[in-house]
Amino acid sequence: MPRAKIPRKSTNIDMTAMCDVAFLLLSFFILATKFKPPEALSVTTPSSVSSKVAPEKNVVLVTMDKEGKVYFSVSDGNVSEKKDIIDAINTAKNLGLSDQEKKNFSNNPTAYIGVPFTQLKSYLDKTPDEMKKISLPGIPVKDSTDNELVDWVRAAVGAFQGTKMALLVKGDNAAKYPSFQGVIIAFKKNDQMKFQMVTNPVPAPAGSELFKVQQTSGSKATE
């Protein structure tokens, strides 16, 4: 008895609904993604083979640009600590800052302090957009008798009392030693002997001991 032949039909899948879902998901991720804002200070950090990621919370950052200017900032999420810092500076230096001027420091996520105390009030009186356009002279640190970073670090230590403070130094590759020396002096006067350097991570040289360690740890992590 001959076998009946079943007619073959081409498989046709309507992909319209799937394409609609894909475009909806793509639109959602584009709209929901927060892009990293451009850095207010352009600093070319030196390279290192360290793979340790810098902390993002409870950070007190001291930045040095290529001209040797020194800046002070606190991580965006520490609004209450920033308020305590500016209150302490205002009281210690008798600056007469208004409530709005203090808010401009504690609530502005991109506020770098890079002016001496004599210019701090006029600097904090400006809007965030105006602050970005100002060419800052930097915090005085090169004179050992007038190192104003000492006061900023002291205020930060007091504000973070009871909380682990991450002290970071981000220096430009072309920064001169006198600025770095002034930063270290400010740390020592506040008994801050441990800090982390922010660098540009690069792969360890092939064949080096660190390369072998990273290869071994990487292979174990994937097993």
pLDDT 10s digits, 195-214? 988 877 666 666 666 666 66
Q: Cα(104)–Cα(126) distance, rounded to whole angstroms?
A: 8
67 pLDDT more than 80: yes
70 pLDDT more than 70: yes
Q: Are 167 and 191 in contact (CB under 8 A)?
A: no
220 pLDDT more than 60: no
* Better pLDDT: 48 or 71: 71
3-34 in b/e burial notation, b at 16+ Cβ within 10 A? Answer: eeeeeeeeeeeeeeeeeeeeeeeeeeeeeeee
The pLDDT, as a whole number, for residue 113 is 92
List pLDDT tens digits, range 96-109: 999 999 999 988 77
The pLDDT, as a whole number, for residue 222 is 32
The pLDDT, as a whole number, for residue 49 is 65
